[in-house]
Structure 1
Amino acid sequence: MVLLKYKAALILFLFTGYKIIAQEKEVTFNSSDKELVQSFNWAKETALHYKGADTDPVGPWYESALPPRSAFCMRDVSHQCIGAEILGLSRQNTNMFNLFAANISQSKDWCSYWEINKWAKPAPDDYRNDKEFWYNLPANFDILNASWRMYLWTGDSHYIDAPAFVNFQQKTVKEYIDAWVLYPDSMLKRPAHPNAPAPYNENDAFHRCRGLPSYSEGVPNLKTGADLVAALYRGMLTYSEILATKGKLKEAALYAQKAQQYRKHLEADWWNEKDNQYYTYYSNSNQFGMQEGETFLLWFDALKDTVRANKTVKRVAASRWNVENMSYYPYLLYKFGEWEKAREYILFLSNPSTARREYPEVSYGVIEGVVQGLMGVAPDARTKTLGTIYKTNSADSAFVNHLSLLRTTVNLTHVGRQQSIITNTGKQSFKWKAMFYGTFKRANINGNTVALKKGADDQNRMISFVETTVTPGKKVNIKVY
């Protein structure tokens, strides 16, 4: 059934006139920080090792699950996709996202397949039939948000406009929430197994975990995870942004309001005042508890109380969970201002002595951490803008070459904290928002002096920036002072 749906999606995909832009040269990274270069090169080689064969029945894909399964799962793909895009695995991303979107169904209570293998089947490790299977409920919202991030990075509107994706969005924010009782005020009162097979067998994981309300899989007797609340917030907000992009502003405002309802419950219900941290799960015996779920509060960017968010970031940075969890750290710690810790985790995750560093998510997480994190690469297809900022406390220099985004390719160099150089080596123009930490008055752009604008990042660090258009073949050198 998966393969048939894949073929239908592929035909539609080609019919819409979408053209795959191949990355002709592999991305490269270099820096005066040679330990980071070594980590990046290990991650690149390891990640590409997990690239599947185009001739496999499922089509182009890459490993994003436990390697013996030859499969890809929704959570891992949602996390690995930007790293994969950086490495030139665009066709793989498109195919895998198509499959997840196309296989949402009423018979599975608006779930998709949690995990699909290279034989174009739902992985038997997680699926028996449409009534008996493993599924983590944050997954729909994770894929919804990942599709949006893929659009912002690539400029490919297929990720938000193709019929299979539109259907996935609509079913996720409506029928899926109804089916699994995921309303803002029901998260602490919902039934533990609203769609369990009958007769129900507690000892059968495909019964007990058909709709596991968290990514934390080791917590017994679970009613709701804080990460599910955060995922719902991010899913509603993402759908609002998608609607706004399409000019549906009234509907967008409605879903933005729904998103805030989940966030308000997260702050009101889940904060542990005594321990100054968030609870991460709520049990069927009506007890809160704490486990590894805080990472996903940051991943879904659901914390807007600055004091609480900073405490959470510090605690996550000091935690050594499993490698799947820690694979999120390089990008997240750069994003939330813990730059030295982010670098530390890149080196730790790529160290040969680190247990299970071969898990696919780890290498893709390192790639993402270096390019999106350290180099501060942030494309936005809505405005065809590429933001960059070097996140380092040192005078090191770094460059990334042959990087595909916004339907073009670029070479980017940061020379210390006051100079950035970009070359548009592709065929599409974009606006470059070159940002620098600190308060500077002027910039020299290819010999011309211009005034800088001022701003701040999410941690209220001062930023100076300038915007300029970079046409194909153009090289722009900006130095601030």
Structure 2
Amino acid sequence: MAGNKNLLPVVLVPSLILGLLLPYGYAPRVHAAQSVNLLQNAGFEEGAMGWAFSGDTGIEQTTPKNGAHLAHLNKGASNVVSQRVTVTETGNYSLTAWVGSAGTGGQMGVRSAAGQVLKSTAIYRMQDYKPYQITDVKLTKGDEIEIYVTGGNNWINLDDFVFYRDDANISSFKLVGQMGESEIDRVENKVVFYMPHGSDVTSLTPEIAVSDGAQITAAPAGKLDFSQPVKYTVQTPDGIVKQWEVTCIMEAKSIAVNSSHRQLNETFNWAKWKAQKYVQTGKRGLINEDERLNSPSSIADYIPSYWAGYAHRTAFYARDFAHQATGAHIIGLQQENFSMLKQFAGSATEEKKWYPSWALNFDGSDFKLDFRSIDSFVREVPAVFEIVQKGYEQYLWTGDEQYIRDPVLWQFYTKAVSDFIELHDTRFPNGIAEGTGKGIFSGSASYNERGDEHLIEAGDGTAAQYLAFLSYAQMLEARGDSAQAAAYFKRAQDLKTHFNTVWGVKEGVPEYIRGYSEDGTALQGFGREASLLMATKLITEPGAKTDAFLDYLDEKYATEKVPNIEALSYLPDTFFLYGRNETAWKWMKHIIDSRPLPHEVASQGSNGDYPEVSYTLISQTVEGLAGIQPNAPKHQVATVPRLPKDIDWLELNYVPLGAHELYVKHEGTTKTTLKHNKGPETLEWEVQFYGRFPLLFVDNRIYLTKQKTLNGKDVSYITVDVPVGKTVTAQAIPQWTVLKLLALLEQYLRSQDVKGPVANQLSNALQQAEHHLSKGAVDQAIHELEKMVRDLQDAKMAPHVSHQAKEGLMAGIAELLKQWRP
């Protein structure tokens, strides 16, 4: 029996990507009773009746969505399936259908009888049936229109069409500050929108769009209180009335971001909302589902996990996971991170020569598309080392000892930095793990899967190995094994030295060698990830060579117009690391602005639908713009503001750092406030500012700064203890003045670091120096400071001046004398 195919199915969600995220077993529901399907033979159960078939098309019985029949189009735009319809009522109409396709290029749409396209949508490469929908087509009674599907670059299957009046709808509902997009359910006539934790939802003014020609006839006036559902009535001119209910859901306590830049605020809220939609923890659904016809999918219970990879594959991928893990932690996915990391670590065995699986199903099993057999599975060298690095980074963010004590993780870390390298260092024995040059199913040296260069060693794999050595050494140290830690710190330094003396040998050439081919040829030029990740992983020695290399990368990614958004997502990470705030922000904005554009793999939907985008925008805001550097195991944190000129101030609240929770606010690049919201003990804060600042002003006290470099850029810093509940503000002081030196002296007087007869002598000398300066008598001012130096160096005064005070005052005097003397 064919089964009932005349009910009006509802497309599960408005976009293809979200349709894939629905739980297994979700059943479409029948539309409201007044909706009538205007199409004849909508499921092709009566053969070709009502439809026009042109070109290489026809009715089949092989794989219908429902019932016994489907329509089929072979490759080619001249192949068309269509049906003419006369519109019975003026109003807005929707078209839904179930479509499967082995290629791209097809189109589904609504056009006039004269051939003018009214609305259409592209058909993606998704061989299993997926729901497609076109909404809000404005038509007039008596219009002759045509529903059509045209062929693409491979076959297309069609089933279960519905074309019906779908009116009196809320089509858009927006509020300033909301998280992501409002969810509009045209079956239940409900709208749900999400607001960040702590938002005031009692006085909101929404922006509402309704079906063309309809209007809201009943709604509360003025600013609305959405702490309870709000009801709206929408009516068409001919009397169709729908009651709509709008509900606000406040997110659970989670990191919150606010800034002077509205687009950044909206993007961060969108990214949190979007990233949470990819969480699969506790669900039951498909595994081994991919874009192939008859993929070997089945149903299983999911482990704690989130989507990391293509949306038409029910899997998380090692590379994507590595790039998403920090963003996942920041929004509270600690359980998922540990679960996924451990699954990858446990998938590496001696039989697989310590390669982890490249992709895992949401139940933790090998994803069959990428795992054919123990001898043929996708494997890429950088992923091995990134898993080690990410284990250490999660330890720093969480303080969770499992990351350095769990036996499965520890075995993997150890094998990755020892046996794995030895087993894969055979072609050019030099301590660097190699690929085979024979493709990803035999072992690729690089993440860059494009091109045919047969790399044996690659820049990104080598750089990832360097950071794996450093990460493993740090974890050894945390475990109390200082001797082994020292050995791996040395291995890291030796590898970095080798790289910078062998791979970066050509002076005056902006790029480094990015790999070696099968015959030992050194390759330069732009190699995408093989080039970029050398800088991202910090193996390039800071200095003129790396500066030129960063300029080169910026230019190449712009001129080469790299299409895949996941590759571009590494650029902000890289440039923020080197304090190139404007360049990093330029690429971050490019990614933000590119979200609505189609992903290069059409079945992904838009760029914003690719999971890596939302997760990395979160981490780039927190680690990049805010410059937060965690060390939860030691109850420490460092911050360095990296705000571009576009952003005057940036504040983050509820930042999770182990058992601590922080508030951080940057005002420009020289003022930072940190509040220790909660935690088990006092937090040690390293306040950092790019540049050479002699002093920091911290809560009415002046501190002499220390100087260091952060990835080649000068940083001035001090360390401050911040008890639980305490708020501390630090501001950089650009240069010494007599008044600043006088303020420092007064601070030492209050603390008794300066006392006795020398106190008056020093104070008088400074006051006289300021008096002479006000009259332009620089020589006399210098004379007063020289008297101070003699007093501070007088052995008789030593008992009355602490070492700290002497050091601070002498430093200030030296800087002032340097300014005043010719």
Structures share fold, TM-score greater than 0.5: yes
Q: TM-score, normalised by structure 1?
A: 0.86
What are the within-5 Å matches in structure 2 for residues 429-448 of structure 1? 429=681, 430-446=683-699, 448=700
More helix by share: 1
Letter in 1 for 2:462: V
Distance 2:678 2:432 in 1: 51
Q: TM-score, normalised by structure 2?
A: 0.51
Offset, 1:393: 4.7
Equivalent in 618, 630, 637 of residue 386 of structure 1: 637
CA distance 1:455–1:260, shift in 2 (3 Å): same
1:397 and 2:397 are equivalent in the alignment: no
Distance 1:407 1:31 in 2: 26
Offset, 1:276: 2.9
Distance 1:187 1:287 in 2: 18
Partner SS for 1:62? coil
1:323 and 2:560 are equivalent in the alignment: no
Correspondence for 2:491: 258
C-alpha deviations, 1:172-200, integer Å up to 9, x for none? 1222112212798447996837xxxxxxx
Distance 2:567 2:503 in 1: 21
Asked if structure 1 preserves the Cα contact closer than 8 Å seen for 2:573 and 2:584, the reply is yes
Letter in 1 for 2:357: Y
1:299 and 2:529 are equivalent in the alignment: no
Correspondence for 2:392: 148
Letter in 1 for 2:465: L
Equivalent in 416, 431, 449 of residue 217 of structure 1: 449
Letter in 1 for 2:363: W
Distance 2:335 2:617 in 1: 21
1:343 and 2:585 are equivalent in the alignment: yes
Correspondence for 2:659: 407
Letter in 1 for 2:729: N
Offset, 1:471: 2.5
Asked if structure 1 preserves the Cα contact closer than 8 Å seen for 2:255 and 2:330, the reply is yes
Offset, 1:476: 2.3
Asked if structure 1 preserves the Cα contact closer than 8 Å seen for 2:696 and 2:705, the reply is no
CA distance 1:276–1:314, shift in 2 (3 Å): closer
What are the within-5 Å matches in structure 2 for residues 162-311 of structure 1? 162-181=406-425, 185-186=429-430, 192=436, 209-220=441-452, 221-271=454-504, 273=506, 275-289=509-523, 290=525, 291-292=527-528, 293-311=530-548
Distance 2:273 2:652 in 1: 16
Distance 2:350 2:675 in 1: 48
Correspondence for 1:18: none
Distance 1:302 1:461 in 2: 15
Partner SS for 2:351? helix
Correspondence for 1:20: none
1:467 and 2:716 are equivalent in the alignment: no
Distance 2:716 2:515 in 1: 41
Task: Structure 1 unaligned segments of length 5 or more: list them.
Answer: 1-22, 194-201
Correspondence for 2:306: 62
Distance 1:228 1:465 in 2: 33
Asked if structure 2 preserves the Cα contact closer than 8 Å seen for 1:348 and 1:354, the reply is no
CA distance 1:440–1:181, shift in 2 (3 Å): closer
Query: Identical aligned pairs, as a percentage?
Result: 26
Asked if structure 1 preserves the Cα contact closer than 8 Å seen for 2:707 and 2:714, the reply is yes
Correspondence for 1:199: none
C-alpha deviations, 1:261-284, integer Å up to 9, x for none? 322332233236274311323222
Distance 2:332 2:404 in 1: 20
Distance 2:422 2:343 in 1: 23
Offset, 1:379: 1.0
1:334 and 2:576 are equivalent in the alignment: yes
Distance 1:259 1:298 in 2: 15
Offset, 1:324: 1.5
Letter in 2 for 1:209: F
Correspondence for 1:83: 327
CA distance 1:256–1:184, shift in 2 (3 Å): farther
Letter in 1 for 2:443: G
Letter in 2 for 1:396: D
1:451 and 2:703 are equivalent in the alignment: yes
CA distance 1:172–1:251, shift in 2 (3 Å): same
Partner SS for 2:702? strand
Equivalent in 594, 611, 626 of residue 360 of structure 1: 611
Distance 1:173 1:427 in 2: 35
Offset, 1:143: 0.4
Correspondence for 1:48: 276
Asked if structure 2 preserves the Cα contact closer than 8 Å seen for 1:374 and 1:391, the reply is yes
Q: How many residues align?
A: 446
Offset, 1:409: 1.2
RMSD of aligned residue pairs (Cα, Å): 2.5
Structure of greater relative contact order (alpha carbons < 8 Å, 6+ residues apart): 1
Distance 2:596 2:273 in 1: 18
Asked if structure 2 preserves the Cα contact closer than 8 Å seen for 1:412 and 1:422, the reply is yes
Letter in 2 for 1:123: F
CA distance 1:382–1:361, shift in 2 (3 Å): same
Offset, 1:415: 2.2
Distance 1:189 1:144 in 2: 14
Offset, 1:171: 1.2
CA distance 1:162–1:302, shift in 2 (3 Å): same
Distance 1:93 1:46 in 2: 17
CA distance 1:129–1:343, shift in 2 (3 Å): same
Offset, 1:25: 0.8
Letter in 1 for 2:617: V
1:122 and 2:366 are equivalent in the alignment: yes
Offset, 1:149: 0.8
Letter in 2 for 1:315: Y
Asked if structure 2 preserves the Cα contact closer than 8 Å seen for 1:98 and 1:164, the reply is yes
